[in-house]
Amino acid sequence: MSPLWILLLGMVIVVGGVLVLRIHAFLALILGALVVALLTPRTSIYHHELRTNAVSVVSVDAEGQTVTLGAGSSDGVVVGTIFTVLRLDPADEAYQQVAVLQVERADENQAVARLIGATFRMAKDDLVILPAQERAAHTVSAQSIGEHVATGFGRTCMSIGILIAMAAIIGKCLLDSGGAERIVLAIRRALGEERTPVAFLGSGFLLGIPVFFDTVFYLLVPLAKAMRVRTGKDYVLYILTIVAGASIAHSLVPPTPGPLFVASELGVDIGLMMLGGCAVGLVAIAVGYLYAQWANRRWDIPLRPSAELTLAELEAMNNRDERTLPALGVSLLPILLPVVLIAGNTVLNLVIQDLPSAEIPGWLAGSKSVVNLLGNKNVALVIAGIIALLMLARQKRNSRADLAAAVQVALASGGIIILITAAGGAFGHVLRQTGISSQLQDLIPATQLALLPAAFGITTLVRIAQGSATVAMITAVGIFAPIAAVGSLAFHPLYLALAIGCGSKPYPWMNDSGFWIISTMSGFTEAETLKTVSVVISLMGVVGLVVTLLGAWLFPLI
Mean pLDDT by 10 residues, the chain (558 residues): 81 77 81 91 88 83 83 81 85 80 84 80 81 90 92 83 79 76 75 82 78 74 81 90 89 77 78 85 94 93 71 63 80 81 75 64 69 83 88 74 76 76 78 72 56 88 77 72 65 90 89 83 88 94 94 85
Together in a domain, 450 and 540? yes
Together in a domain, 500 and 536? yes
Residue 408 within a domain: no
pLDDT recorded at residue 345: 79
Residue 226 within a domain: no
Burial of 396 (0-12, 13-18, 19+ CB in 10 A): middle
pTM for the full predicted model: 0.69
Together in a domain, 460 and 480? yes
Residue 504 within a domain: yes
Cα gap 209→232, rounded to integer Å: 31
Residue 186 within a domain: no
Side-chain half-sphere exposure of 466, counting CA atoms within 13 A: 26
Q: Packing angle between helix 400-433 and helix 377-396, nearest 10 degrees?
A: 150
pLDDT recorded at residue 412: 77
Together in a domain, 33 and 75? no
Tally of structural domains, the chain: 2
Together in a domain, 434 and 545? yes
Domain CATH code at residue 87: 2.40.10
The angle subtended at Cα 248 by Cα 175 and Cα 522, nearest 5°, is 30
Together in a domain, 16 and 115? no
DSSP readout, 368-388? HHHHHHHTSHHHHHHHHHHHH
Cα gap 196→227, rounded to integer Å: 9
Together in a domain, 449 and 538? yes
Residue 163 within a domain: no
Largest CA distance in the chain: 83
List of residues 6+ apart from 546 with CB closer than 8 A: none
Cα gap 330→388, rounded to integer Å: 9
User: 106, 129, 152 — which closes off a domain?
Assistant: 129
Residue 536 within a domain: yes
User: 88, 109, 129 — which closes off a domain?
Assistant: 129
Q: Which domain holds residue 477?
A: 3-45+428-554
Cα gap 536→243, rounded to integer Å: 8
Residue 371 within a domain: no
Together in a domain, 532 and 450? yes
User: 129, 155, 178 — which closes off a domain?
Assistant: 129
| Nearest by Cα to 104 from 123, 78, 84, 128 | 78
Together in a domain, 432 and 515? yes
| Nearest by Cα to 332 from 249, 231, 428, 220 | 220
Cα gap 125→130, rounded to integer Å: 16
Together in a domain, 442 and 545? yes
Residue 421 within a domain: no
Together in a domain, 496 and 449? yes
Q: In what order do the strands lie in the sheet with 111-115?
A: 57-60, 66-69, 111-115, 94-106, 82-89, 127-129
pLDDT recorded at residue 117: 74
Quote the distance between the C-alpha of residue 343 and its chain's center.
16
pLDDT recorded at residue 285: 94
CA–CA distance from 339 to each of 67, 176, 279, 311, 387 (Å)?
Answer: 42, 22, 23, 31, 14
